[in-house]
Structure 1
Amino acid sequence: MAPTRPTGGPALVLVLGLAAMVVSMMQTLVVPILGIIQNDLGTSTANVSWVTTATLLSAAVFTPLLGRFGDMHGKKPTLIGVLVLMVAGSVLAATTSSLLWLIVGRVMQGAATAIFPLALSVLREEIRPEKLHGAMALVSGTLAFGSGLALVGAGLLTQGDNPDYHRVFWLAAVLAVVALIAVVAGVPASRHKPGGRTDWLGAGTLAALLVLLLLPISQGHEWGWTSVRTLGLFVAAVVMAGVWVLVERKVKEPMVDMKMFAHRPVLFTNLAGLLLGFAMFSQFIGVSYLVQMPEKVTGYGFTASVLRASVEYLLPTTIMSLLAAQIGGMLVRRIGARFTLTAGAAFGVIGFAWLTGAHDSSASVILAGMVIGVAISFGYAAMPALIVASVPHHQTGIANGINSISRSVGSAIASAVITSLLASKTIEHLPAGVPALPQESQFTLSFALAGGAFLLVVLVALVGLHSDRRSAEPEQSEAAVAEKAAESVSA
């Protein structure tokens, strides 16, 4: 019997790109409307922060579990199930006026983050090797585009004297339904289902580890970084990490193969993902806050509204990321994922150096952001290629799921660090009734830290990934892997 060859084309890439874009929108959709939700529900800042924290924790818990489940039992049914959950969560959030049920809806939306690693698994199975890196780069590029699009959509839907946050979640529900229909119609059934038993103990201990780690990171600013609760959770996370490693080394069919997890290319790619997530979210938060500063009061900033901040200052970054995605895929094929990651990180260093030294004009902020957009796109193109070239076919979903978590952890750390920095030094002698506002030096420091994160990515790519041939030449490894996978499916 002749081997079954990959047959996926542009339509499949567009469908999976749409699904990934919708997922990324769930992450930033609520950022511009947290104040509206707080006022409408009459709750505190600490309580409303759970609207974002709940999604982060849910994504961290469900992404590796569902990525592994899709690897074992089929990507398409797992994709459909996750999208149905996202539709239900969006409708719940759109119809409730209870903070508790809104948080439940956000937990359901957060589970949909697993769609991205599942989409990459489908691409690996269905796209020919010579087209794979470009396809992964395009789907990865939609993540940044979706984040920016969500900010614009939320800003537009909450304009006026009586803003209603429910409209934003109805938008999420409609887009999730469109993505669900597209996946049902356009994604073929999985041809590679190795099966196996679900490692519930490993999944549970990993979930506990991630919650114990991310909870103090996301809430530390509210609780206090030296409080007993914050420090206690960090200590508990370290203990649970040891428990998780012990469990995964003992069970017969582990959820995460520790050898794969500690494999040099996978380990350093995850480190690069954490740093990239930190830098990307630092740019988003830093620029968003910077341009909204009232110039007449602070002496810096551009007095921008939330909508103007999203459309004028952040959207160009996301559009540039999408446009650069195909270039990133081409570079992966021609010079390798390792050097593409290096080039992207170098763009990031340049972009943040620009922002650090010159953020006093709109043109400078926008153009520097576009350079950073190229850096993000190249990083998103390179990391899936590095992961795919370094793990067996049946571990693609879980490996990319762990990489997605590393970026989420980086984003959570950036949110905590930048928020704390901006609150640590405020302008003295403000007019009566004006809330505390950060000194300009804190934005400068924030952008410098993000540039430092990209500089570390350069070192990770050149030094950390240097000794492994497959990480240096992933296009050759991936071609070989894909050829073997195609032959083994129907041999």
Structure 2
Amino acid sequence: MSRTIAPSPGRHRREIAVVLVLSLAAMVVSMMQTLVVPILGLIGTSLGSSAAEVSWVTTATLLSAAVFTPLLGRLGDQHGKKPTLIAVLVVMIAGSVLAATTDSLLWLIVGRVLQGAATAIFPLALSVLREEVSAHRLPGAMSLVSGTLAFGSGFALVTTGLLTRGENADYHPVFWMAAGLALVTLVAVVLLVPASRTKTGGRTDILGALTLGLFLVLLLLPISQGHEWGWTSARTLGSFAGAVVMAGVWAFTENRVREPLVDMKMFLHRPVLFSNLAGLFVGFGMFAQFLGISYLAQIPQDIAGYGFGASVLRASVEYLLPSTIASLVVSQFGGLLIRRIGPRLTLALSAVIGTTGFAWLAAAHSSTPSVIGAAMAVGTAISLGYAAMPALIVAGVPPHQTGVANGINSISRSVGSSIGSALITTLLASRTIENLPAGVPPLPAESQFTLSFTIAGAAFAFVLAIALLGLKRQRQAPRAEHRPAAEPAPEPAAATAAA
């Protein structure tokens, strides 16, 4: 009679160490995306640059992530996750140190380009988890690592506010903090993450990487700069048209390469395609929450008749930190939900909570407890959504495509975040309060916040439709085809039970 071989205590401890290290790495990744949001004005003042010029500090990171994430995810699958992780962290440290030591906008942007490569850490981390963590622990491990993405984004806003408070604020310590965290993560990866035992090898699809990168640059550039360029300007419309053309060129290229960067059959596979669509809307909702609540909290109530007159630091700590903590706490239970009800229904639950949270914000954003409560609901939804999407992808793709598939999903979330940032900024600037006192800068009408939160709620409603109608019911949890070599090979019955 067959029996299930229990994992050894030593292996269990190794798995815990790997999950904690990769959770730290994922947190550092997400911090890079929101780190500079509260200090763009400070950077512009310090460097004597305009708002349009300083906006490239965020755009550069976004474009770098779009170009390098799928390529590095594929390189990790081909040549080993650990060396690729180490290389990306070294590049990120170099970019952080450059940003921390320069007083030139050009070199600061170069540093942010190097930091953008860190986005590839997340899909690489998921690939490591699939290889190193037992099947029954894999959903929980992926949930925890994914949940730290939402936590890191909010944590970056809080720490940036703390480091730049006071009259003599300086942006350089923010990047020193980023360099320090990246260095700690690098040491932890070197010491605690095992070397990859499975490498697919093969050629790197450089042409596919170039065409995909150009498509994403042409798509994201007008989204991030459209507010400055004008949404109907020749540059904006021309970039969008170029993106459409390059999408066709990329698809044509990948269908004719023996070893494509992105297998188009995998890309169009139902779980992958709809998980990427869900990532687009969840990324949109995350930035709609961060920007909408941050701006709302800083609106001076005595002048506008609404808002809370908070400083950047208070807005981050009082209004956004509870949501960040909620997302981290919920990530502990995401794996349990995925095992109990499956990633599809977990994504649906995320959508219901997110829609409810934004409806709450749209209807009742005049009191601090109401805003904080609604923000915590949205943070919960984002954490569950981030946990469900990798589980859906891992269940739907073979092991050698885990890195690139999750890399594309990371890009879909980045695109959604960019659209959210651009749309919220445009909406808040499109209708302002009339008859403000002299010397007061334009302030958005309260109705624009209501509209912004309503649109974000609709985005989560689309996620619900994707989960219930787009994704097929799955009978099994995500697979873990690659087991650590240290564990004895299970008997057939035990293997079946673990699957």
Work out whether the TM-score is over 0.5.
yes
Distance in 1 of aligned mates of 2:270 and 2:152: 31
- Tell me which residue corresponds to 2:493: none
Q: How many pairs does the alignment contain?
A: 479
Distance in 2 of aligned mates of 1:115 and 1:201: 22
- Tell me which residue corresponds to 1:168: 174
1:310/1:484 CA distance change after superposition, 3 Å: closer
- Tell me which residue corresponds to 1:363: 369
Runs of at least 5 residues in structure 2 that lack an aligned partner in the other structure: 491-499
- Tell me which residue corresponds to 2:495: none
Report the CA distance between 1:189 and its aligned residue: 0.1
- Tell me which residue corresponds to 1:225: 231
Please list the CA deviations of residues 55-105 of structure 1 after superposition, one character each: whole Å capped at 9, or x if unmatched: 000011110000000000000000000000000000000000000000000
Alignment of 1:38-437 (within 5 A): 38-437=44-443
Distance in 1 of aligned mates of 2:482 and 2:127: 12
1:13 equivalent to 2:19? Answer: yes
Distance in 2 of aligned mates of 1:52 and 1:21: 18
Distance in 1 of aligned mates of 2:239 and 2:38: 29
Does the CA contact (< 8 Å) of 1:129 and 1:482 recur in 2?
no
* Structure 1 counterpart of 2:475, from 459, 473, 476: 473
* Structure 2 counterpart of 1:445, from 437, 451, 460: 451
* Equivalent position amino acid for 1:40 in 2: S
SS at match of 1:478: coil
Distance in 1 of aligned mates of 2:464 and 2:158: 32
Does the CA contact (< 8 Å) of 1:337 and 1:473 recur in 2?
no
SS at match of 1:159: coil
Distance in 1 of aligned mates of 2:215 and 2:345: 33
Please list the CA deviations of residues 213-264 of structure 1 after superposition, one character each: whole Å capped at 9, or x if unmatched: 0000000000000001100000000000000000000011100000000001
Report the CA distance between 1:152 and its aligned residue: 1.1
Please list the CA deviations of residues 178-197 of structure 1 after superposition, one character each: whole Å capped at 9, or x if unmatched: 00001001100001011010
1:483/1:168 CA distance change after superposition, 3 Å: closer
Runs of at least 5 residues in structure 1 that lack an aligned partner in the other structure: none
- Tell me which residue corresponds to 2:496: none
Report the CA distance between 1:357 and its aligned residue: 0.4
Distance in 1 of aligned mates of 2:464 and 2:71: 31
Distance in 2 of aligned mates of 1:178 and 1:24: 16
Distance in 1 of aligned mates of 2:115 and 2:483: 36
Distance in 2 of aligned mates of 1:84 and 1:228: 39
- Tell me which residue corresponds to 2:494: none
Identity %: 71
Distance in 1 of aligned mates of 2:227 and 2:262: 32
Distance in 2 of aligned mates of 1:157 and 1:281: 22
Does the CA contact (< 8 Å) of 1:385 and 1:474 recur in 2?
no
SS at match of 1:129: coil
Report the CA distance between 1:123 and its aligned residue: 0.2
Distance in 1 of aligned mates of 2:121 and 2:165: 31
Distance in 2 of aligned mates of 1:67 and 1:421: 35
* Equivalent position amino acid for 1:325 in 2: S
SS at match of 2:152: helix
SS at match of 1:130: coil
Distance in 1 of aligned mates of 2:333 and 2:352: 15
Please list the CA deviations of residues 352-372 of structure 1 after superposition, one character each: whole Å capped at 9, or x if unmatched: 111010000000000011111
Please list the CA deviations of residues 147-186 of structure 1 after superposition, one character each: whole Å capped at 9, or x if unmatched: 1111111111111111110011111111110000010011
Please list the CA deviations of residues 419-478 of structure 1 after superposition, one character each: whole Å capped at 9, or x if unmatched: 110011000000000111100000000000000000110000000003xx5xx2340x52
1:324/1:139 CA distance change after superposition, 3 Å: same
Does the CA contact (< 8 Å) of 1:427 and 1:436 recur in 2?
yes
Does the CA contact (< 8 Å) of 1:80 and 1:180 recur in 2?
yes
Does the CA contact (< 8 Å) of 2:132 and 2:483 recur in 1?
no
* Equivalent position amino acid for 1:478 in 2: R
SS at match of 2:137: helix
Provide the TM-score with structure 2 as the length reference: 0.94
Report the CA distance between 1:126 and its aligned residue: 0.1
* Equivalent position amino acid for 1:430 in 2: L
* Equivalent position amino acid for 2:74 in 1: R
Distance in 1 of aligned mates of 2:332 and 2:160: 28
* Equivalent position amino acid for 1:431 in 2: P
1:483/1:164 CA distance change after superposition, 3 Å: closer
Distance in 2 of aligned mates of 1:97 and 1:388: 43
Q: How big is the alpha-carbon RMSD for the aligned residues of Structure 1 and Structure 2?
A: 1.6
Report the CA distance between 1:144 and its aligned residue: 1.1
Provide the TM-score with structure 1 as the length reference: 0.96
Distance in 1 of aligned mates of 2:484 and 2:239: 45
Distance in 2 of aligned mates of 1:18 and 1:450: 28
Distance in 2 of aligned mates of 1:484 and 1:93: 39
Please list the CA deviations of residues 193-218 of structure 1 after superposition, one character each: whole Å capped at 9, or x if unmatched: 11010000000000000000000000
* Structure 2 counterpart of 1:460, from 441, 451, 466: 466
Does the CA contact (< 8 Å) of 2:266 and 2:397 recur in 1?
yes
1:462/1:484 CA distance change after superposition, 3 Å: farther
Distance in 2 of aligned mates of 1:67 and 1:381: 19
1:109/1:484 CA distance change after superposition, 3 Å: closer
